Amino acid sequence: MTKHIAVLVGSKSQTSVNQRLAKHLQKIAPPSLQLTLVDIGDLPLYDRDLDTQDVPAYTRVRDAIKQADGVIWVTPEHNGSYSAMIKNAIDVISRPAGQSLWIGKPLGLASANASGSNRAVDALRVIASGTYINMPVCPFAGVIGGIFAGAFDDNGELVSEQAKNTLQGFMSAFDEFMAKF
């Protein structure tokens, strides 16, 4: 049975390596996982006053998460942490209070960042374990760092063998993780 995975990318930039990373994950996903990119770039900043109003972007993204069997968050590292865009989506989907759609959804974490560190991913692990999120997190993260020069070709294809191996390992681990749910 194919599991449907919602992929949220914390960057809207046309030149985003994290957008490229997410598209690469789609290409290498095993047949047991169907990855769908969910656009979060048009989400208004979370405002609880909007919870009682019809906000089409909120509804669209919440519905995508509701229908997903699992989730992957892909984020750049901004100032030593995750992006504001991914945090906004996390907030939108965890609300209104008492109606979080995250609870219990298996989560994978991935990032392409210049520093090569896992700071953004580590910070997201903390968020995922919180009371209103409460998601089981795949222990293997898909982090590629410090390899921007030449990692992707002009067509957005990943050409770095090191990065390919890391992301293939991540997808294999995430597939095994998803099989438990």
**Residues 4-40: pLDDT tens digits?**
999 999 999 988 889 999 999 999 999 999 999 999 9
pLDDT band, very low/low/confident/very high, at 149 (cuts 50, 70, 90): low
Q: What is the pLDDT of residues 131-141, one digit of tens each?
A: 889 999 999 98
Let me know: does 4 contact 68? Beta carbons within 8 Å: yes
Q: Say which residue, 175 or 161, is predicted with more confidence.
A: 175
Q: Kind and range of the H or E element at 110?
A: strand 107-113
Alpha carbons 51 and 103: distance in angstroms, whole number? 18
Percent of the chain at pLDDT above 90? 74
- Is the pLDDT assigned to residue 115 strictly greater than 80? no
Through-space distance between the first and last CA atoms of the chain, rounded to whole angstroms? 12
**What's the average model confidence in pLDDT over 39-56?**
94
165-176 pLDDT, tens per residue?
Answer: 999 999 999 999
Report the distance separating Cα 58 and Cα 48, nearest Å. 11
Query: What percent of the chain lies above the pLDDT cut of 70?
Result: 96
Q: Is the model's pLDDT at 54 over the cut of 80? A: yes
Supply 179's token pair.
Answer: 């099989």
Nearest Cα neighbor of 168 from 38, 74, 28 is 28
Q: How far, in Å, CA of 167 to CA of 28, rounded?
A: 9
Residue 45's Cα: distance from chain center in Å?
18
Q: Give the domain ranges of the chain.
A: 3-178
Q: Just give the CATH number of 3-178.
A: 3.40.50.360
Global pTM reads 0.95
pLDDT, averaged across the chain: 92
At 53 the pLDDT is 92
Determine phi and psi for 78, rounding to 5 degrees. Answer: -115, 115
Tell me the sheet residues that pair with 9.
Answer: 74
Pull the structure tokens for residue 80: 């030593």
* Token duo for residue 163: 């990065």
